[in-house]
Chains A and B, each alone.
Chain A
Amino acid sequence: MGMTIRTATAPTIIITMTTDPHLILHQIFSPAFPVGAFAYSHGLEAAVQGGIIGDATDLQGWLEDILNHGSGWSDAVLFAHAARGDDIGPLNELALAMVPSADRRLETEKQGAAFATCARDLWGVDLPNAAYPVAVGRLVHLLGLPQRDALRLYLQAFAANITSAGVRLIPLGQTDGQRITLALAPLHQTIADRAITADLDDIGGFVPMVDIASQRHAALYSRIFRT
């Protein structure tokens, strides 16, 4: 399958490649892609230390709430808008403004910057640093990658990263973690499908426990994750 890269620099350069776009998607959502995702728990570390989360059932419920009513859904909508080519200035401003804590701002800014830096080096694209879902969505647009598949994989990578943090923190067995990833797969599909056609006004949710955990993380006495 062919694909087209458009860079925003003038004059417009169109590069046609013959790489399967799914291979690009798997590369950018692989834990090996250097965004440093392993350093962030999205508030989970505080929730485990606070005794809110103690087993695999708790962790799966926590992730379902984040995906349905928290940054999973909000970031999916922002990603979808960036992926279809919307101006990323306002998307980035909204993405950063919706973050409920300094830790979470760091999480999305640092990962977004690392992602954009690597993408610029690999594909020569004009991709500015931005909040992580906005930066990734923009690359999907610039490389003409399949948006729905990209968004499904994005959500799975996001949840799997927090699951890995949970496997370490709770702790859980590796198979328990994989069981959660498998159980959440239908949710990644439905959220991605809804987000692809959603308006920015459809953004919204309610996960105060998750917000508060991310706010409390900075005050933990000992921490192994940055958020």
Chain B
Amino acid sequence: MISAADTAKAQRARGALRLSARRRGPLSEIGELYQAGSMRLLFPQRRGPALSAVMLNTAGGVTGGDQFALDLEAEAGSHLTISTQAAERIYRAQPGPSGQVTNRLVLRDNTRVDWLPQETILFDQASLSRRLEIDMTASSRLLACEALVFGRRAMGETVDQLHLTDRIDLRIDGRLAFADRLRLTSNAEAQLARIGVAGGAVAMATILFAASGAAGHVPALRDMLPNTGGVSALSGDLIVLRVLGADSYALRQSVLPVLAHLNQAALPRTWMI
């Protein structure tokens, strides 16, 4: 007989992906590729020298107890662009462990990685523990965007209960250059309404851009941002940008020009729909 616990166990999704990008002549190509469980990579038709990959969660989202792990490596000289086919949905979790998502990016010498997943949408009673760990060399170039949407306002959804920890560690030549330790638990709707939190906004994006001379982009980016956004150069080669949006649509309106400016190339098609 199958117990309820076994059923719950069986329903938990597992996914693992490993991908390396390798430079061959002027082009970046797939080096190593490993896919297991409910995570898949799609490789759309090439539009330039970069290797473009689109992540697909075949489980349709993340809920409590799920475990997803992604390891990406840009080998020397390569250019890798990553996006997702759809917004990631973090669904209501049953009591128990949080969904675990661990994303690791390694940028070897003279590489470029564009980490451009679409928004992560958190539903009421979602429970997620997520990490983004980036290890890069100072000779590389990184553009990373993470957008969070707390309930779909247009659908009348609110997030009353939430357990979210979302951690970013960016290391440049082994030194911790930026660390984000986002933690939002209990009544997210009430928290988001607070004056120092989001003033009622329900969507937020964080963009990191690490490249030689990155600070030079600050004035142009400042002019693009609404008054709910800010950008700062933590060093000459690293800028951090944070922007709030009243909903996911407003957030995209703020984020798209910033990404288009920093990407200096067409954004992944999944962003353009």
* Chain A residues proximal to chain B, CB less than 8 Å: 50, 52-53, 58, 61-66, 69-70, 74, 93-94, 97-103, 105, 203-216, 218-219
Contacts and interface: CB of A to CB of B under 8 A. Distances in A.
Assign chain B's interface to a size class. 35 or more
B197 A206 contact: yes
Contacts of B262: none
A100 B243 CA distance: 12
Contacts, number: 98
- Across the A-B interface, give the 6 residue pairs with the lowest CB-CB distance, nearest first: A215-B230, A65-B196, A204-B183, A101-B232, A212-B230, A97-B179
6 contacts: A62-B195, A101-B234, A205-B183, A206-B182, A209-B197, A213-B230
Contacts of B232: 100-103, 214-215, 218
A216 B231 CA distance: 7
A209 B234 contact: no
B176 A208 contact: no
A9 B269 CA distance: 60
> Considering residues A61, A102, A205, A218, which has the most beta carbons from chain B within 10 angstroms of its beta carbon?
A102
Contact of A94 (B176, B231, B233): B176
- Chain B binding surface SS class: strand
Interface in B198-227: 198-199, 204, 222, 227
Given A93-B175, A98-B180, A208-B244, A70 B230 contact: no
Contact of B196 (A62, A74, A216): A62
Contacts of A213: 230
Given A204-B181, A212-B228, A215-B242, A99 B234 contact: yes
B240 interface: yes
Contact of B184 (A62, A98, A206): A206
Given A101-B230, A103-B232, A215-B232, A209 B177 contact: no
B194 interface: yes
Interface of B: 165, 167, 169-170, 175-184, 191, 194-199, 204, 222, 227-234, 240-244
A75 to B, nearest CB: 12
B199 A105 contact: no
Contacts of A100: 232, 240, 242
B159 to A, nearest CB: 13
Contacts of B204: 208
> Considering residues A100, A210, A212, A216, which has the most beta carbons from chain B within 10 angstroms of its beta carbon?
A212
A52 B230 CA distance: 14
Contacts of B181: 74, 98, 203-205
Nearest to A104: B232
A113 to B, nearest CB: 18
Given A62-B196, A97-B177, A212-B243, A206 B231 contact: no
